[in-house]
Amino acid sequence: MHTPIIIPQLGLVEAVVLLEWLTPDGGQVEKGTPVLLVETEKAQTEIVAPATGTLFVTMPAGDQEVSTGAEVGHIESL
- pLDDT, residue 10, reads 86
The tens digit of pLDDT for each residue in 43-73 reads 999 999 999 999 999 999 987 799 999 999 9
User: How far apart, in whole angstroms, are the C-alpha atoms of residue 25 and residue 44?
Assistant: 21
- pLDDT, residue 26, reads 97
Length of the chain: 78
- In DSSP notation, the chain reads -EEEEEPPPBTTB-EEEEEEESS-TT-EE-TTSEEEEEE-SS-EEEEEPSSSEEEEESS--SSEEEETT-EEEEEE--
Domains in the chain and their CATH numbers? 2-76 (2.40.50.100)
Query: What is the value of pTM for the model shown?
Result: 0.90
User: How far apart, in whole angstroms, are the C-alpha atoms of residue 47 and residue 20?
Assistant: 10
